[in-house]
Amino acid sequence: MEQAYVACYKSGSHFHVDKQDQALAIPQEDATHVKLVSVDGYSTLVSIKEAAAEGNYLAYEWEGRPIPVLHGFPIRVVFPELEGNKWVKWLVLIEVQ
């Protein structure tokens, strides 16, 4: 079975997505999307390819301090190449579907 590999690692004030690291294997034939869920119930789907794209990260700090609640404390997803509605604030769940 072909595998897609996705991992996160800490660097400075955020976690980077690293699709080369084999820490988490996601079978491509079964999984097509990642569901991101906010504490307020908002959720969105991104494709596995979009979620594993270089440059994405999980932000937990801004200018050396925890992200303000208004901007997504404790964790906010950042997808620089996607529209803002995919940048989930107050992240509580990442579900591979």
Cα angle for residues 92, 94, 97 (degrees, 5° grid): 145
Q: Specify the pTM.
A: 0.71
Q: What architecture (CATH level 2) is domain 3-96?
A: Alpha-Beta Complex (3.90)
- pLDDT tens for residues 54-66? 888 888 888 888 8
The domain segmentation of the chain, as residue ranges, is 3-96
Burial category of 36 from C-beta neighbours within 10 Å (exposed 0-12, middle 13-18, buried 19 and up): buried
- pLDDT tens for residues 2-57? 444 444 544 554 445 554 444 445 555 677 888 999 999 999 999 988 988 888 88
